[in-house]
Every structure is written in structure tokens, then in C-alpha cells.
């Protein structure tokens, strides 16, 4: 948030310069990074599914065990400034990606709107559109391909 007319931290700091609390506050709570994705080994193209990590609460779009997620989900990725630069599958609406690319946050982002519900109201989150991976085999993921807002957006650097 802005402090007395000064620019907000996401406009003045690089991701690597942010405090832990600033970093954590950038997450818009969409839950899309917790979706399982398929990658075409020949082309590198990423295909999104609606199948969420077993720890994702598909209504709140929050991790149900955030503090212990790496112990419970070995392939959970710890997002940091360096990874934001290299991960091609971060949604184009992701605040980390947007800040890295020098873009401003969307009006529905809670740091702009003041409410964590606006990401859901804007239809950007996985709320109501994702299912847990529990009981679904990797071979079945192709049956759960999904399109997500902004994925057709071409982002130029």
C-alpha cells in the first residue's frame, strides 16, 4: 500500500529487494501456481489443467499447510526472485511476474483493491473451477485440460 503519497513498494523495489512480508503480500491468492501442468517434451509448451495440488483449498485458494508444504509435497516449488525470471508457466496475471516485467498490478489485486476477494470476483482464481489431485492419476490429467484468464495474452519483455 502507499504511504503518505510515496510510491508502493512493488513500484520502487526489485523482487530480490523485498522483505519477506512484502514478498508474501504480493501473492494475489489466485491458486493457479498450485495447479498441475503438463509440458510437451518436444515443444516445451505448457498445458494447464484444473487439477490442484492436494494441499490447495480449492475454495479459499490457499495452501492448507503452507508452513509444511515442502515436506508434504516434494515437487512444490519455493518461488523466489530468481525463479520468477526463469519459470515460463507463471500466469501472466501473477503479481510476481508482473512486477518482474515492470508492469503494474491489476485493479483486482488486493494491494490495490484492499480486499482479498476481488481476485475471485474478477474470475482470475481457481475458486469453483479446480479439483483436488486426490484420486486422479497423472495419466488422467489430459482429461482435465483448462483455459485460464490471461493465458492467451502475449507478454513482451
Average pLDDT over all residues of the chain: 90
- For 49, the 3-state DSSP assignment is strand
Model pLDDT, residue 88: 85
Q: Is residue 62 assigned to a domain?
A: yes
Q: Is residue 35 assigned to a domain?
A: yes
Pairing of strands 46-52, 35-39: antiparallel
Q: Is residue 151 assigned to a domain?
A: no
Predicted confidence (pLDDT) per residue in 32-65, tens digit: 999 999 988 898 888 999 999 999 999 999 999 9
Closest CA to 130 of 45, 28, 55: 55
Q: Is residue 8 assigned to a domain?
A: no
Neighbours of 130 (CB within 10 A): 26
Model pLDDT, residue 154: 32
Q: Is residue 5 assigned to a domain?
A: no
Residue span of the structural domain in which 24 resides: 13-144
Q: Is residue 50 assigned to a domain?
A: yes
- d(C-alpha 104, C-alpha 16), whole Å: 17
In total, how many domains does the chain have?
1
The model's pTM is 0.86
Q: Is residue 155 assigned to a domain?
A: no
- d(C-alpha 18, C-alpha 11), whole Å: 11
Predicted confidence (pLDDT) per residue in 65-81, tens digit: 999 999 999 999 999 99
Q: Is residue 87 assigned to a domain?
A: yes
Q: What is the mean pLDDT of residues 125-137?
A: 95
Residue 157 has pLDDT above 50, yes or no: no
Contacts of 32 (CB under 8 A, 6+ apart): 48, 91, 93, 94, 124, 125, 126, 148
Q: What is the mean pLDDT of residues 109-124?
A: 96
Amino acid at each position: 500500500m502507499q504511504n503518505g503519497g510515496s510510491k508502493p513498494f512493488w513500484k520502487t523495489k526489485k523482487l530480490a529487494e523485498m522483505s519477506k512480508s512484502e514478498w508474501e503480500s504480493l501473492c494475489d491468492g489466485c491458486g493457479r501456481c498450485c495447479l498441475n501442468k503438463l509440458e510437451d517434451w518436444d515443444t516445451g509448451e505448457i498445458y494447464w489443467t484444473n487439477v490442484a495440488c492436494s494441499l490447495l483449498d480449492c475454495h479459499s485458494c490457499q495452501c492448507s499447510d503452507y508452513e509444511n508444504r515442502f515436506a508434504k509435497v516434494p515437487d512444490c516449488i519455493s518461488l523466489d526472485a530468481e525463479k520468477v525470471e526463469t519459470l515460463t508457466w507463471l500466469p501472466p496475471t501473477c503479481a510476481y511476474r508482473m512486477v518482474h516485467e515492470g508492469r503494474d498490478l491489476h485493479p483486482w489485486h488486493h494491494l490495490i483493491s484492499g480486499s482479498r476477494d476481488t481476485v475471485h470476483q474478477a474470475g482470475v482464481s481457481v475458486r469453483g473451477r479446480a479439483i483436488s489431485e486426490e484420486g486422479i492419476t497423472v495419466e488422467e490429467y489430459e482429461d482435465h485440460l483448462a483455459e485460464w484468464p490471461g493465458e492467451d495474452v502475449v507478454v513482451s519483455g
